[in-house]
């Protein structure tokens, strides 16, 4: 005779540390709560109760199409025990002859119908009254209890959970070995640590950002530092200028003598290394950049004097003020003060300024070492003759060019045929010699798409695989310690789209390049129709006023991409756009 089984899913807590209720976090295309509710309802002959408390409106809204029975615990703030009581009571009201009950949490992403059924089958086989999931000597939820334990469960108080009851009866307890029971979500790290599948565009960006390592540093001679980001605060070793300096061609005077006829007794060109001294009633001819003579405090423009015989001048400048046309000592920078802050982008002017204060070399944020691995039997080098079924390899050219635009000039690239062992050797070597590996091709799910399996065999931890977007759905991202591994689709348009959307922003952050405005609103000139389900990125051209979707949107075509300066974004849940609609675009330049 089949026993009547109930499943209580506890989802009443106020867990919003990750930015939204934990119950509503997305995993594999749906919320955690909706997923586990669907899996529980798929267990044959099982009654399911989802107990909620905090956020009743959004959680009810998320479950409205699932047909699962939802019950609200008005006392959820008193602790987990009250939710267990509410759940069991609800099941007993709907199924008075209930024989057993499984207590499950809502934040274990890999618990599914098979896990629930394993608990049931082990209970039937062993006739034990308590069956829990466990891994590595640790046991916990979900846990099955026979009816004889309902009274103890309903007697729990405060934060006491079902484990409190299960601990008391070890002789009547048995464990289902289930390694993935270790995955639950209490922190952002827990969530990002999951091997995600088929995620949203924003999730992909968030996960990549979460795993970016700390930037590295590199010392460069000044001439090679253009475009990099300064990684040190530069302190001036000496004042610049190191002396009061004339800012123009004219005459050095004492301001108090400005109304007198002054004898020009000397001249001081730029580069003078002998300090001159000037007495009252005197002036000296001086040139831009030259040091003021001792005693002078003002420079008169040469156009503002009358020069008479005997080399005597009279000043014709009623607006003259004390200190005019004099660069004070240290007016550019004082010795011992901050000359330039870390994080400054090294523009030509910044290079010139650092040279002017005497810097010869500086510490910058280092570009990561990058290796490209191109996969595919069909790829041939340009300059050779194509055979039947062959195509020219173009991804390395476009990706290296895109990397050069970011200031990454030295990139290793290599081609490997569709062979698992050869790919594994190439990837292992690349991981030892680089900070970031970009694999191109072989990331889908076909018979010859080996990249994901080989990456895992090399000890790379999958962070996600596949994104709900077009083009570029089969994108892989993984990590090995601080190394980042991207697996881009092989189609050239898909590869470049994924590079611009995910790889380039990661590199900009790693190199601490200045934030760029990438996403802006504008209006589209043409309509474009799509089905909900995927975010579309259309090759497009923006003229400063409106955006025009271009022809040839297929993922293998680069002709239109060569004319594009942006990607027109049509969100996942949209049906497309009409001419004149306001849309977002992602700028490429």
CATH class of the 519-587 domain in this structure: mainly beta
Q: What is the CATH number of domain 370-510?
A: 3.40.980.10
CA 312 to centroid of chain Cα atoms: 70
Q: What is the pLDDT of residue 14?
A: 81
Domain ranges of the chain: 5-190, 219-239+334-365, 245-327, 370-510, 519-587
- Tens of pLDDT, residue by residue over 98-126, are 999 999 999 889 999 999 999 999 999 99
- Tens of pLDDT, residue by residue over 511-542, are 998 878 889 999 999 999 999 999 999 999 99
Give dist(CA 151, CA 38) in Å, integer.
28
Residue 287 near residue 302, CB atoms below 8 Å? no
Bridge pairing between strands 138-146 and 173-177: unpaired
Q: What is the pLDDT of residue 516?
A: 80
DSSP for 398-447, please give it. HHHHHHHHTT---EEEEEE-S-HHHHHHHHHHHHHH-SEEEEES--SSST
Is residue 471 reached through a cis peptide bond, with omega within 30 degrees of 0 on the bond before it? yes
Decide whether 245-327 matches 519-587 in CATH topology.
no
Q: What is the pLDDT of residue 18?
A: 65
Greater confidence (1 vs 407) lies with 407
Beta partners for residue 521, in sequence order: 584
pLDDT of residue 197 exceeding 90, the answer is no
Give dist(CA 172, CA 126) in Å, integer.
10
Mean pLDDT over 321-344 rounds to: 95
* Residue 132 burial class via C-beta count within 10 angstroms: exposed 0-12, middle 13-18, buried 19 and up: buried
- Tens of pLDDT, residue by residue over 225-273, are 999 999 999 999 999 999 999 999 999 999 999 999 999 999 999 999 9
- Global confidence as pTM: 0.82
> Under CATH, what is the fold of the domain 219-239+334-365?
Molybdopterin biosynthesis moea protein, domain 2 (3.90.105)
pLDDT of residue 193 exceeding 90, the answer is no
CATH superfamily of 245-327: Molybdopterin biosynthesis moea protein, domain 3. (2.170.190.11)
> Under CATH, what is the fold of the domain 5-190?
Spore Coat Polysaccharide Biosynthesis Protein SpsA; Chain A (3.90.550)
Mean pLDDT over 90-95 rounds to: 95
Mean pLDDT over 561-570 rounds to: 96
Give dist(CA 41, CA 66) in Å, integer.
9
pLDDT of residue 338 exceeding 90, the answer is yes
Q: What is the pLDDT of residue 189?
A: 84
Beta partners for residue 8, in sequence order: 49, 103
The CA distances from residue 234 to 118, 237, 264, 330, 338, in Å, are: 64, 9, 42, 16, 6
pLDDT of residue 1 exceeding 80, the answer is no
What three-state secondary structure class fits 19?
coil
Give dist(CA 23, CA 66) in Å, integer.
15
pLDDT tier for residue 61 given thresholds of 50, 70 and 90 = confident
Residue 254 near residue 350, CB atoms below 8 Å? no
Beta partners for residue 166, in sequence order: none
Out of 290-294, 321-325, 414-418, which region has the weakest mean confidence (pLDDT)? 414-418
The CA distances from residue 349 to 197, 227, 409, in Å, are: 46, 11, 22
Token pair for residue 117?
Answer: 């059924």
């Amino acid at each position: 005779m089949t026993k009547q089984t109930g499943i209580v899913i506890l989802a009443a807590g106020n867990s919003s540390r990750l930015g939204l209720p934990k119950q509503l976090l997305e995993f594999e295309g749906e919320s955690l709560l909706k997923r586990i509710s669907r899996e529980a309802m798929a267990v044959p002959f099982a009654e399911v109760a989802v107990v909620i408390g905090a956020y009743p409106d959004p959680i009810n809204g998320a479950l409205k199409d699932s047909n699962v029975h939802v019950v609200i615990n008005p006392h959820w703030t008193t602790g987990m025990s009250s939710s267990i009581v509410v759940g069991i009571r609800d099941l007993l009201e709907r199924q008075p002859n209930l024989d057993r009950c499984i207590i499950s949490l809502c934040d274990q992403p890999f618990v599914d119908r098979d896990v629930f059924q394993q608990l049931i089958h082990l209970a039937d086989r062993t006739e034990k009254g308590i069956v829990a999931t466990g891994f590595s000597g640790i046991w916990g939820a979900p846990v099955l209890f026979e009816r004889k334990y309902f009274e103890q469960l309903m007697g729990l108080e405060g934060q006491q959970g079902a484990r409190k009851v299960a601990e008391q009866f070890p002789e009547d307890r048995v464990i289902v070995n289930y390694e993935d029971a270790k995955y639950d979500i209490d922190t952002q790290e827990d969530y990002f640590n999951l091997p995600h599948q088929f995620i949203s565009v924003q999730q992909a960006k968030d996960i990549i950002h979460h795993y970016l390592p700390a930037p590295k540093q590199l010392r460069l001679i000044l001439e090679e530092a253009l475009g990099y980001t300064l990684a040190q605060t530069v302190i001036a070793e000496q004042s610049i200028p190191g002396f009061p300096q004339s800012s123009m061609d004219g005459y050095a005077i004492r301001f108090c003598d400005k109304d007198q006829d002054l004898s020009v007794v000397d001249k001081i060109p730029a580069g003078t290394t002998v300090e001159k001294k000037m007495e009252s009633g005197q002036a000296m001819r001086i040139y831009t950049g030259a040091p003021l003579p001792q005693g002078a405090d003002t420079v008169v423009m040469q156009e503002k004097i009358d020069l008479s015989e005997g080399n005597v001048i009279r000043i014709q400048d009623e607006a003259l003020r004390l200190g005019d046309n004099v660069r004070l000592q240290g007016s550019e920078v004082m010795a011992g003060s901050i000359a330039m802050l870390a994080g400054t982008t090294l523009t030509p002017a910044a290079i010139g300024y650092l040279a002017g204060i005497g810097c010869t070399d500086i510490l910058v944020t280092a570009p990561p070492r990058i290796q490209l691995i191109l996969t595919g039997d069909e790829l041939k080098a340009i300059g050779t003759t194509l055979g039947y079924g062959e195509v020219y390899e173009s991804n390395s050219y476009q990706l290296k060019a895109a990397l050069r635009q970011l200031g990454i000039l030295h990139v290793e690239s290599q081609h490997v045929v569709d062979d698992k062992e050869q790919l594994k050797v190439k990837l292992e070597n690349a991981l030892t010699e680089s900070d970031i590996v970009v694999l191109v091709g072989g990331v889908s799910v076909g018979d010859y798409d080996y990249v994901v399996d080989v990456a895992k065999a090399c000890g790379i931890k999958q962070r996600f695989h596949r994104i709900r977007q077009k083009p570029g759905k089969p994108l892989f991202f993984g990590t090995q310690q601080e190394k980042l591994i991207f697996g881009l689709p092989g189609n050239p348009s898909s590869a470049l789209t994924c590079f611009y959307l995910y790889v380039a922003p990661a590199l900009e952050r790693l190199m601490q390049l200045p934030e760029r405005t990438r996403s802006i609103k504008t209006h589209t000139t043409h309509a474009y129709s799509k089905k909900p389900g995927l975010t579309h990125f259309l090759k497009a051209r923006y003229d400063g006023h409106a955006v025009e979707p271009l022809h040839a949107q297929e993922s293998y075509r680069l002709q239109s991409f060569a004319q594009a300066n942006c990607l027109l974004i049509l969100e996942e849940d949209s049906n497309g756009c009409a001419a004149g609609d306001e849309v977002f675009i992602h700028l490429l330049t």
